[in-house]
Amino acid sequence: MTWSGVIAEWVQGDTAYISSVFSWNLQKTYMRCVFYKSAGYKVRVGGQNVVMNPSMFKEFDSSEEVDALKYHNPDAVFTSRGCIRNCSFCLVPKLEGGLRELDDWEVKPIICDNNLLACSQAHFDKVIDRLLEKRLTGIDFNQGLDARILTDHHAQRFAELPNDTIIRLAWDNIDTERLYMSAFNRLIDAGIRRNQIRTYVLIGYKDTPEDALYRLEKIR
């Protein structure tokens, strides 16, 4: 379950495809496009990095969205796209819009939904049931679950999964401490082990160093 390193590239016929996620790879992404173009390939490029810097990639084809996730990690999948939130630090609302549940998906162990817990209970249960049916191990809810809306039902269903499952929460703001701790304790009460729970901590966005250190120490 190895990630591409945030740039994925592959060739099909006479076309080279490049998908880039994070801004620190902006120059490298551009240079890979130039390399393939100079080698005689048509170049199609996309991903968050490209969407946010369209002028830099105007000489290449970025007109159509390509399902690049399997090239970033073949064990990763989306079961929904979009999000109910409109966080100003996040690109999801700009790229994907509101939350929509997918009717079907290939069952894989790395779940990359932007806000799985905002989906209907029926969809959430379908995700858990299909993971159980496939008897997968090494399951990883990878994107940071919305601790503010994690319920007892969510926690109890997570507890049905193998005990190597990783549950990743997100604690973006010190003001949501009570909601974060409530979600953490729900998971523990449902039987999730502490070493299964990981937390993403957003640092440097409308906080102070003291706020960030407090959250990190609280989690530790």
By mean pLDDT, which of 13-27, 158-172, 188-202 is the weakest? Answer: 13-27
All structural domains of the chain with their residue ranges: 7-69, 75-219
Is residue 163 a contact partner of residue 137, using CB atoms and an 8 Å limit? no
Question: Has residue 1 got a pLDDT over 70?
Answer: no
Evaluate whether the domain defined by 75-219 bears CATH number 3.40.50.970.
no
Q: What's the pLDDT at 93?
A: 83
Query: What is the mean pLDDT of the segment spanning 7-13?
Result: 93
Whole-number average pLDDT of the chain: 93
CA dihedral angle for residue 32, residue 27, residue 83, residue 173, rounded to 10 degrees: 150
Query: What is the mean pLDDT of the segment spanning 121-138?
Result: 97
Q: What's the pLDDT at 4?
A: 67
Query: What is the mean pLDDT of the segment spanning 118-147?
Result: 96
